[in-house]
Structure 1
């Protein structure tokens, strides 16, 4: 048998997928903005510009002002933020403005306003007429100085609002106070610490606090002590490694701690099966290195991965070893942890959802349903020699009260079935197969132990496959409940 190995590769997916628009946050404090029109829509944009610190010149005859516009002009915004010009707009009024926002009465007027603004070199937004806009307004989550903007490029404003509501629930209002504290600390931090690992270490500690209760004087004093401690002690020469479970593929199944690790990484060593959606959540500046390991394919040697982890950590990097599923389930994490411990390199483990649990969740099946199973086993169907492991407890796995999840068993499925049946498991025992579980192209099959090998032959493609055997897999089907899309049922 020829063994082919490949080296770690920098050929990773693009760090940024194509953008329909570029999100840019524009500083308007003290700058002049022009609003054309006196409608409610124009009033809202004027109020928004004033909230951003702009001095807003409103061009609209007094008799065209809506009740809402009259309200904000009479005291709805800070004094001096709005200047009403009782006249229709003139092209000369756009000169030296930061932005122009207009509620045009017709397409002809919209085109004229856009032409005048562009002649003056000023970006323009014509309300509800995207063809005449240089920029768009999006939905806003306001935790100033933290501001989150959401754009659907005008295609689905209601969707943008729904996304805003979801984000609102994730960002505590205390974040505003923490961001203000960050502004107060930044000057001293920059004086005391040089750019690089020291500053990163401080901000990572800061972020750990920022999603809790509002900051107190005690918190501020502690953070100032952190600045002094890091500045006095210097930066440790050794970095750290975090083993992160990427889950079965769906990025929404990541834990918050996993996302935080990806956002703080200097280098990410990721497996073949890690999805692009998961990588998209990583820090943009992080270097990404593919160290894929796939059965039956050219793969990186574990020794090469270990050597690379050590080299990067010794250089002071935060290395995230991103593994599909859970790093502690058939992920060789034990070997990597032992190596890092022996070299005195700090290592942390962030668990992920393993494929067997994703299979159960997707099919709506309890692996330990009390009417069908008293135990669950996760078993590898593939040894280092390519066949079934020699030391599996087949008698225990054939127990009808056990649910067994087989990983990496696609090429050994025939012998696996024969062994289970030989040890007394009935051929009619319920079974299931999932290909690409939790991913957009997932496929699911219900079958029996006796038809498992034949069903496996129907599984096409090169994606990961997980197999479940046990009475628990028959419970939901026999109850006649709704089955997931893409489910194929096969009888023995």
Structure 2
């Protein structure tokens, strides 16, 4: 028996979940706010109220150095007026809101404010507060307030820092432009798809990390940029350094690029933690390039980036480490520029620097090394490159970092010793640097032996030079145990 067809029906919206506090934005422009107290905490509240445009009447018989400094320099907006006396109920007349930093009189002040019909906040006294101050992300006129209902202020501050990394400071300028454009857009564009398309293009420009001034600096210039932008416009490719694997080592600019990408082309050395920070809607394509494994041809990667950008996509080419250190960025930039595709580069922390930080070793310790060299330890053949300057690399005043050198560690040691390096010259061999994995330290004479114990599936970096002496282990310990030791050992 055929089942009856079901007609489309509009679903009811889901119920809004419980709110610990109602997030509202209070207009204090040219209104009077009362603040009682002269402490450093009170100074911060006074500056916050004045920045919102309020006339802040401060009542305190004694004021802290922080309050004195604030009164001397002034706030970004509004007005600060100090009254050197204690508070009384009459000061609450005509106030838009009241704030106090009090101990003994907290309850009395809150009661007086409520009797006067003035919203009140007593610092660190939730029971006497009608409202609370949260952490603020200021991209005014874009203002973001964060509340944890007083349960975990430090968590609120951490959330603020996360949001700060995603919002380029130029968002403030774009939001100010939007206020000027709003009436004009409503007059000339019909409600619905036309307006939506306009504001989507406007937002695309706002999140490129460029101020409106870069398009001419006037409302008309921005309007022209949006109006003349073709539907199938040329996108951009951004080469982004993902660093050695620890997501917390990403730069703010890398975070913004990941959050604005339409497509992300990433190597298989890029960690999952880094990818988790990308825009959820972005399409992710693994274009794995890794020594000793099946990899995408560089030409195919170049063609894919170009094709996507010419379709109008914002493309991120996400590379482990730094794009400009053994990342073939030069070939990609040249190919894209020849195709007329704009390219940006966001640097990352290269593995050699991350290794030094993880080991607590200064690569240019002034008593041991006056220069650093980054060298590749593997050619296309899988062997040592033929053109390396071994005499220069053997310079006792130089620290050398060999990339992609796991399979050639023994050969590197032999060539360095043949060029004059002592067999006891300190060396380190680290896998998956920054991800708490494996490391070995000892003389270069044992470097080949140490490499035999490595996990060949993990990327390896080698450091050679006197600066690694502090990372070396005693001979008996090194010879009695497998040389690749857990990083936490």
Structure 1-normalised TM-score? 0.63
The reply to whether residue 294 of structure 1 matches residue 290 of structure 2 is yes
With over 3 angstroms needed to count, the CA separation of the structure-2 counterparts of 1:351 and 1:177, relative to structure 1, is closer
Q: Are the counterparts in 2 of residues 250 and 278 from structure 1 also a CA contact under 8 Å?
A: yes
1:420 pairs, out of 400, 416, 439, with: 416
With over 3 angstroms needed to count, the CA separation of the structure-2 counterparts of 1:324 and 1:140, relative to structure 1, is same
With over 3 angstroms needed to count, the CA separation of the structure-2 counterparts of 1:76 and 1:280, relative to structure 1, is farther
The reply to whether residue 387 of structure 1 matches residue 383 of structure 2 is yes
Alignment-derived partner of residue 472 in structure 1: 467
Q: Are the counterparts in 2 of residues 432 and 444 from structure 1 also a CA contact under 8 Å?
A: yes
- How does 1:38-437 map onto structure 2 within 5 Å? 67=108, 70-75=111-116, 77=118, 140-141=135-136, 143=138, 145-149=142-146, 157=152, 159-163=154-158, 166=161, 179=175, 182-185=178-181, 188=184, 191=189, 195=197, 198-204=201-207, 207-209=209-211, 222-232=218-228, 234=230, 237-437=233-433
With over 3 angstroms needed to count, the CA separation of the structure-2 counterparts of 1:157 and 1:200, relative to structure 1, is closer
Structure 1's unaligned 5+ residue stretches are 1-20, 31-50, 52-64, 80-102, 104-136, 479-484
Indicate the RMSD between aligned Cα atoms, in angstroms: 4.2
Q: Are the counterparts in 1 of residues 424 and 444 from structure 2 also a CA contact under 8 Å?
A: yes
**Alpha-carbon separation, structure 2, partners of 1:403 and 1:29:** 56
Q: Are the counterparts in 2 of residues 202 and 226 from structure 1 also a CA contact under 8 Å?
A: no
With over 3 angstroms needed to count, the CA separation of the structure-2 counterparts of 1:165 and 1:257, relative to structure 1, is closer
With over 3 angstroms needed to count, the CA separation of the structure-2 counterparts of 1:428 and 1:436, relative to structure 1, is same
Alignment-derived partner of residue 457 in structure 1: 452
Structure 2's unaligned 5+ residue stretches are 1-16, 27-51, 53-105, 121-126, 474-484
Q: Are the counterparts in 1 of residues 170 and 210 from structure 2 also a CA contact under 8 Å?
A: no
Q: Are the counterparts in 2 of residues 246 and 254 from structure 1 also a CA contact under 8 Å?
A: yes
With over 3 angstroms needed to count, the CA separation of the structure-2 counterparts of 1:388 and 1:182, relative to structure 1, is same
Higher RCO (C-alpha under 8 Å, 6+ residues apart)? 1
Q: Deviations over 1:398-446 (max 9, x none)?
A: 222221101111111122211211222111001112222222x333332
**3-state DSSP class of the match of 1:268?**
strand
**Alpha-carbon separation, structure 2, partners of 1:454 and 1:327:** 31
With over 3 angstroms needed to count, the CA separation of the structure-2 counterparts of 1:473 and 1:76, relative to structure 1, is farther
Q: How many residues align?
A: 366
**Alpha-carbon separation, structure 1, partners of 2:471 and 2:304:** 46
**Alpha-carbon separation, structure 1, partners of 2:397 and 2:359:** 19
Alignment-derived partner of residue 98 in structure 1: none
Q: Are the counterparts in 2 of residues 139 and 164 from structure 1 also a CA contact under 8 Å?
A: no
Q: Are the counterparts in 1 of residues 207 and 260 from structure 2 also a CA contact under 8 Å?
A: yes
**Alpha-carbon separation, structure 2, partners of 1:297 and 1:354:** 21
**Alpha-carbon separation, structure 2, partners of 1:174 and 1:329:** 30
**3-state DSSP class of the match of 1:328?**
coil
Q: Which moved more, 1:385-394 or 1:69-78?
A: 69-78
With over 3 angstroms needed to count, the CA separation of the structure-2 counterparts of 1:185 and 1:71, relative to structure 1, is farther
**Alpha-carbon separation, structure 2, partners of 1:22 and 1:409:** 56
- CA shift, 1:149, in A, is 3.2
Alignment-derived partner of residue 87 in structure 1: none
- CA shift, 1:268, in A, is 0.9
**Alpha-carbon separation, structure 1, partners of 2:321 and 2:417:** 29
Structure 2-normalised TM-score? 0.63
- CA shift, 1:241, in A, is 0.9
